[in-house]
Amino acid sequence: MSARVAVAGGGLAGITAAITLAQAGAEVTLLEARPRLGGATCSFSRDGLVVDTGQHIFLGCCDAYRALLGTLGMTGHVTVQDRFDVTVLAPGGRSARLRRTALPGPLHMLPALARYRFLKMSERALVSRPALAMRGLDPADPALDTQRFGDWLAAHGQTGHARRVLWDLFTVSALNIAGDDASLGLATTVVQTGLLGKNNAADIGVPALPLGELHGDAGAAVLTRLGGTVALNTKVAAIEPLADADARYRVRLGRASGEASGELLADAVVLAVPHDKAAPLIPAQALPAGTVQAWSGLGASPIVNVHVIYDRKVTGLPFAAAVDSPVQWVFDRTEISGLASQQPGQQYLAISLSAADEYADVPAATLRERFVPALADLFPAAREASVTEFFVTRERRATFRQEPGCGALRPKPATRLPGLVLAGAWTDTGWPDTMESAVRSGLAAAAEVRRAVQSEPNAAAPNGGASTIGVRQ
C-alpha cells in the first residue's frame, strides 16, 4: 500500500488505525491535540503519583484489544484471571463471591449464581429465565435498539432488587448508563458475549502498568518504528477535499492555543475523534443530509473517579464490586501508581463511578463526605485509618449515551468521500463504547482506507509534495 494517510485522534481507535496502516506500507501521520496519546485511556502525574484517567479493565472476550496489546508488546504487562472471580461487598462487612466454574458456557456461572447471597432465594430460582431468553436474541435486530433493558428484564421475572444487585454489576460499568435505561441491543451484546459465551469470556484483565505507558507510549514507539510520525499538541482544524491529482485531502492544522500551524496533504484521512469533535470537521458532502446533526442524539455519559489514599492498608482485594452502596467498583492502585515505593505501608484506592450524572459537577469536598464513609462501610479496616489524600477526576463525556435509539445513530466507517473514514468506539462496531469497540473501529477504518486507496491506481505516492509545516513529533 503506497499512500499518505493522516489519522486525526490519538486514542485507541487512532493508534490502532495508524499502526495497522503503517504495517501495510502507508506513510502515516498521527495527529493528537493533547500532549499525550491514549485518548480516554491515558495517565498523568500528580504529586509524584501516576494517575490513570479511568479504571479500565478488559475481558477475555476482547480479542481485538488483546491483539493490540500483542502488537504493542504489552501482553506481559496485564494480568488476566484464570477464572472470572469477583468479590461483591455490601455495607456492614457483608460479602459474596461470583466465581465461574470450569463447566462450558453458559453453565459455568450457574453454581455461583445459585449461591449468590445478595439474591433472595426466589430471585435465584428465576435468574436463568432471562439468560436463556437472551440467548435467542439478535443484538443487531433494530427492534432491540428501541427497548429498555430494565423493561425487558422485568418482563422476564427480574425484580428491581435483582436488577440492582446482579444485572447492574455487569451492565452499568460496561454501558456507562443506569442499567434499566440501557439499550436492550447493547445489553444483549454484553450478556451474550461476556456471560453466555465461552466460559473464559468474562475473565477479567487488569493493567499492570499505567495506561499512558500501556497504550500511549507503546503506541508512539511502535508507530515511529514503522516509519510513521506522531504529532502531539496538534489539532485538526479542517479537512478539505481536493480536486487535485496530487492529493485527495488537505488537513489544516492548529495548536491547542488556537494558532494555525500549517497543513498536511493526504490521500486518505481517518477521523478518529469523539462524535461531537467529528461533527464540525467532516465535510458536508461526506454524509447524507442531517446525519451529522443526528449525531448530537448520541449524547454523552460521564464517568467520575474518586481517589482515596490511606495511611495504612485497608483491604487485600485487587478490586471489588459493591451493592447497596454509592460505591460501584473499587480498585487497589497502590503498586501501579508508584505509591508503594514512595510511601510504604499506605494504600491507594480508586472508586470508579459509571453513569455518574449525579456526581459530574459535585465538589470534591462533598464527594469526600459521601465516599470516605461509604468505603469504611465496605472495608472495616478503613474505619481506623486516616485519609492522607483525596481527589477526584472526571470524564464528563466518557462515552456516548447507550440508551434506546443510539444504535440507529452510529455510523459505518466509510463516508461518501473515498478515503475519508470514521473511527472511534462510538461508530457502528456492534460493541458498546469500550476499549474493544475502539480497537475494532480502528481496524475497520484501516480496512476501508486500504480499499479506497487500492481502488485508485493513480493515488499519490509517499512524499509526493506533502507539506508538514508546523507538525512536530
- Find all residues with CB under 8 Å of 85, minimum gap 6, and list them: 97, 98, 99, 100, 204
pLDDT for residue 472 is more than 60: no
- Tens digits of residue pLDDT in 265-278: 999 999 999 999 99
How many Cβ atoms are within 10 Å of 448's Cβ, its own excluded? 23
What is 316-327 written as a DSSP string? --SEEEESSSS-
pLDDT for residue 132 is more than 60: yes
What confidence score (pLDDT) does residue 256 get? 64
- Tens digits of residue pLDDT in 355-375: 999 999 999 999 999 999 999
Q: Kindly report the CATH number that applies to the domain delimited by 101-194.
A: 1.10.405
User: Model confidence at 462, in pLDDT bands (50, 70, 90)?
Assistant: very low
- Find all residues with CB under 8 Å of 231, minimum gap 6, and list them: 29, 30, 31, 32, 253, 471, 472, 473
Q: Is 390 exposed, middle or buried (0-12, 13-18, 19+ CB in 10 A)?
A: middle
Q: Cα separation of 65 and 19, whole Å?
A: 13
Hunting for cell 491535540 — which residue is that? 33
pLDDT for residue 380 is more than 80: yes
Provide the 8-state DSSP code for 459.
P
User: Model confidence at 455, in pLDDT bands (50, 70, 90)?
Assistant: confident
SS3 175: helix
Secondary structure, 3-state, 56-120: CCEECCCHHHHHHHHHHCCHHHEEECCCCEEEEEECCCEEEEEECCCCCCCHHHHHHHHHCCCCC
- Tens digits of residue pLDDT in 176-226: 999 999 999 999 999 999 889 899 999 999 999 999 999 999 999 999 999
Alpha-carbon distance values, 271 to 42, 115, 286, 410, 434 (Å)? 19, 48, 12, 14, 18
Q: What percent of the chain has pLDDT over 70?
A: 95
Q: What percent of the chain has pLDDT over 90?
A: 89
- Tens digits of residue pLDDT in 145-185: 999 999 999 999 999 999 999 999 999 999 999 999 999 99
32, three cell numbers: 493528537
Q: Cα separation of 369 and 237, whole Å?
A: 43
Cβ–Cβ < 8 Å for 127, 196: no
109, three cell numbers: 456461572
How many Cβ atoms are within 10 Å of 111's Cβ, its own excluded? 13
- Find all residues with CB under 8 Å of 50, minimum gap 6, and list them: 43, 44, 210, 212, 336, 337, 338
Cβ–Cβ < 8 Å for 30, 15: yes
Q: Which residues pair with 301 in a beta bridge?
A: 399
Q: Which among 28, 471, 468 has a CA at the least distance from the CA of 228?
A: 28
Q: Which long-range contacts (CB under 8 A, 24 or more apart) does 222-227 make?
A: 222/19, 222/71, 222/72, 222/73, 223/15, 223/18, 223/19, 223/22, 223/28, 223/30, 224/473, 226/19, 226/22, 226/23, 226/28, 227/22, 227/27, 227/28
Q: Using CA atoms in the order 86, 89, 93, 95, what is the torsion angle rounded to 10 degrees?
A: -50
25, three cell numbers: 506500507
57, three cell numbers: 479493565
Q: Cα separation of 195 and 176, whole Å?
A: 18
What confidence score (pLDDT) does residue 146 get? 97
Q: Out of 3.50.50.60, 3.30.360.30, 3.40.50.10610, 2.30.40.10, which CATH number does the structure's domain 4-41+214-298+410-454 have?
A: 3.50.50.60
What confidence score (pLDDT) does residue 470 get? 32
- Tens digits of residue pLDDT in 220-271: 999 999 999 999 999 999 999 998 777 899 999 987 666 667 999 999 999 9
User: Model confidence at 2, in pLDDT bands (50, 70, 90)?
Assistant: confident
Alpha-carbon distance values, 255 to 10, 80, 215, 230, 276 (Å)? 15, 39, 23, 14, 19
What confidence score (pLDDT) does residue 257 get? 61
- Tens digits of residue pLDDT in 334-358: 999 999 999 999 999 999 999 999 9
CA angle 264, 269, 275 (to 5 degrees): 115
Q: Rounded mean pLDDT of 383-403? A: 97
Q: Cα separation of 38 and 40, whole Å?
A: 6
Longest dimension (CA), the chain: 72
| Domain extent listing, the chain | 4-41+214-298+410-454, 101-194, 301-399
- Tens digits of residue pLDDT in 419-430: 999 999 999 999
How many Cβ atoms are within 10 Å of 45's Cβ, its own excluded? 12
Is the sign of the CA dihedral 432, 211, 295, 289 positive or negative?
A: negative
435, three cell numbers: 476499549
Q: Which fold has domain 301-399?
A: Polyamine Oxidase; Chain A, domain 2 (3.90.660)
